[in-house]
Structures are given as structure tokens and as C-alpha cells.
Amino acid sequence: MQIFDEYDIMKTLFMIRVENLTKKFNGFTAVDNISFFVNKGEIFGFLGPNGAGKTTTIKMLATLLKPTKGEAKICGFDVLKEKENVRKSIGIVFQEPALDNRLTGFENLDFHARLYGLDKETRKKRIEEVLNLVELQDKAKILVINYSGGMQRRLEIARGLMHYPKVLFLDEPTLGLDPQTRHRIWDYILQLNQKEKITIILTTHYMEEADYLCQRVGIIDFGKIVALDTPQNLKNILGGDVISIEVFPPERAFEIFKTFSWVKKINRCNSIINLNVEQGEKKIPLLMKIDQKEAGFEIKSVNLRKPTLEDVFLYFTGKTIRDGEASQEEKNKMTMRGRFRR
């Protein structure tokens, strides 16, 4: 599928351009024929459950994995044919920690810069710049083993910026951090995007992270991109309001609610039924008029809110992101069992 034909003149302007990218591991398809582009200076996010194919995509774009098929270019360089040029153009912060905790923060950055061939004066200047950017200048001489989790993450981001990359990959940048530290990391990411004029592609399974940081979001599930747009446009697809109703038993209530003509969309997650409606505040009284005893169910609670990316994910995939992680894990187990049988 060639989705960029109408953009032939602009092809070289995209910082990242991906067409029909696929990665298979034996009989398992981790990334399934995805196509997208990322504009210069954009923060682009992949949102999806663990195991959905986000990290595999990043590894292919960073030349760490060879695609099974498809094409990808970073800053105009082909990830298969021009690996060295791609690697010079990108920085990457891995999901797993990759710092040497026996070195100081300064030494970690200096070592990384030496690998990229930066001279002594450039290294010194750049280390000072990136440490100031992530507010670790006063921790430069401290061993990394004594850093908090948030400080280590900030240092990893600083390290990814040392060689002046045009594109920065952040794989689950706030995984495992407490909410307060997570929000601070978000601010650093926005700051470096604005100050360094750097293009960022990040992966996350935190809805609020994608909503807060990203100009555009690709929702990925079982290796496929099921939706791609700005967070607001994605939420506008649902429109109106969401009424979340906790009911028991939910099966009976679901059958009744879906007959209401004013319900635009209905879905269910365990005992919670979500109704997409217009003017939700006027629809709640209608729900309260239901004779619950006669209907055969009990309403435990009712909540009115605007659509979120969680609702969008549920709309396109039929499950929550937590359910997605559970189903993806089961699929992976079945694939592994199939390999062993062979």
C-alpha cells in the first residue's frame, strides 16, 4: 500500500517516512505492514499495550533490527542501505536502563560523546548544555548508582542528545516512575523539543502521556496501526460525552442500553458500560427513570466525562489497554507453544 504517492514533492521533507514496514519472528508477526510519517520538529507518539509492536518498530527505525519487508527512511537515509548515516542522525533512550552506574553522570556523557567522535572542547560544551537542560548540572560528579530513578532517566535523555541528533527516540520514557517524576520528565521532553528543535518519536502505554506530549498519536494494537491523528481529533471521533455506568449484571443492562436511539456508541469493559452520547447531562435523568427491578439489573454508579484516549483505544480495538496487554501476552504464549510443538 503506497500512502505517500500524493506527497511526492514533500517526501524528502519528512524526518521519518515508513511504508509497509513489517517484522516477523518465525510465525509471529510483531509489526504488521505499517505506514506513517513524522514531520520535522514534531513529537509523534505510538500508543499501545505492552507487546503491541512499539519497541520492535523503534528498533527497526534505529537499525537495531532488520525489517522483514517494507521501507523506512530517517532524515532521508534508508535504514537498510545507509545504517551509519541513520545512526549519526538519531539519539535513542531505551526502555531498559543503559547507564554505567560505576561512572559519574559526567563520565557517562563524556564516554558516549567520545564514541561519536566529539573533540574535547565540543564534549565539554555539550555536556554542560545537556546537563543544564535536564537540571543535573549539580549532580555531574556523583556516581550514577546514587541517582534516583527519575535522575537516571533524565541523564539518559541528556546522553541521547550529546551528538546533536536530528531525531530522538524515547521508548517508554517514564516507565516505572512515580506520577510526580513522570510529569517532570514530560516537561523536560517538551523543553528539549522546543530548545533543541529536535524531532521526537516516543512509545508509551500511558494515555495521559500521549495526550500531554504528542502532536500526533498512532494507536497500535497487535502490530497494526488502527488509528493515527492528533489526540484531539481522535477524541473528536467519539464526540459529545461519555457516560460510564457500573451495573450488575452488566450483560442484561448492555442489551437494554444498546436499544436507546440516543446512544451513538456503546461498549463494555467488565461491569462498566460506556455510552457515547450528545448532551450527556440531559441523558443521565433518562437512565435514572429506568425501573431497575423490572429491567433486571442494578445501577451502582454513573459518571459523566469527555472522551479520553482510553475511550478512543476502546473504540478502535474493542478493549482497554490493560485488556490489550493481557490478550497480547496470551497470543505470544500461544505462538511460543506453537514453536515448541514444531
The tens digit of pLDDT for each residue in 150-206 reads 999 999 999 999 999 999 999 999 988 889 888 989 998 998 898 888 999 999 999
Do residues 116 and 229 share a domain? yes
Query: How high is the pLDDT of residue 336?
Result: 45
Cα four-point dihedral sign 262, 267, 268, 269: negative
Q: Which of 203, 120, 118, 131 is nearest to 164 (CA)?
A: 118
* Domain-terminating residue out of 195, 213, 234: 234
Can you tell me the distance from the alpha carbon of 122 to that of 163, in angstroms, rounded to the nearest whole number? 10
**Same domain as 249, residue 224:** no
The answer on pLDDT for 97 being more than 90 is no
- The whole-number pLDDT of residue 251 equals 95
Residue 121 lies in a domain: yes
pLDDT at 7 over 80: no
* Mean pLDDT across 75-83: 96
Kindly report the CATH number assigned to the domain that includes residue 251: 3.30.70
Single out the residue in 181, 208, 234 at which a domain terminates.
Answer: 234
Would 159 be classed as within a structural domain?
yes
51 plus 107 within the same structural domain: yes
Predicted TM-score (pTM) of the model is 0.83
- What pLDDT score does 325 carry? 63
Asked if residue 148 is part of any domain, the answer here is yes
The angle subtended at Cα 301 by Cα 296 and Cα 305, nearest 5°, is 125
Q: What does the pLDDT read at residue 332?
A: 55
Report the pLDDT value the prediction gives residue 10, as an integer from 0 to 100: 46
119 and 142 share one domain: yes
Q: Residue 341 has what pLDDT?
A: 47
Instruction: Out of 216, 234, 252, pick the residue that ends a domain.
Output: 234
Residue 13 forms part of a structural domain? yes
Do 213 and 264 belong to one domain? no
Give the domain CATH number at 166. 3.40.50.300
**For position 324, what pLDDT does the model report?**
58
- pLDDT at residue 340 above 80? no
Same domain? 230 vs 250: no
Average confidence (pLDDT) over 240-265: 94
Residue 328 lies in a domain: no
Residue 340 placed within a domain: no
Q: Are 275 and 314 in contact (CB under 8 A)?
A: no
pLDDT for 328: 55
What's the confidence (pLDDT) of residue 321?
Answer: 80
| 127, 204: one domain | yes
Which residues are bridge partners to 299 per DSSP?
247
Do both 186 and 300 map to the same domain? no
Instruction: Assess whether 252 and 206 both reside in one domain.
Output: no
- 185 and 253 co-located in one domain: no
Residue 12, pLDDT above cutoff 60:
no
Q: Within this chain, do residues 72 and 149 fall inside the same structural domain, yes or no? A: yes
Give how many domains the chain has, as a whole number: 2
Residues 21 and 155 grouped into a single domain: yes
Contact criterion met (CB below 8 Å) for 57 and 21: yes
Helical H runs in the chain?
Answer: 54-61, 83-89, 105-115, 120-133, 149-161, 179-195, 207-213, 231-238, 250-257, 280-288, 292-295, 309-317, 321-341
* Structural contact between residues 172 and 95, judged by C-beta atoms closer than 8 angstroms: yes
10 vs 61, which has greater pLDDT? 61
Residue 318: inside a domain, yes or no? no
In a domain, 336, yes or no: no
Q: What count of other Cβ atoms lies within 10 Å of the Cβ of residue 306?
A: 12
Name the more confident of 237 and 329: 237
Taking the CA atoms of 137, 141, 144 and 145 in sequence, report the sign of the dihedral they define: negative
* Dist. CA 217–CA 229, nearest whole Å: 6
Expressed as residue numbers, the domain containing 269 is 240-306
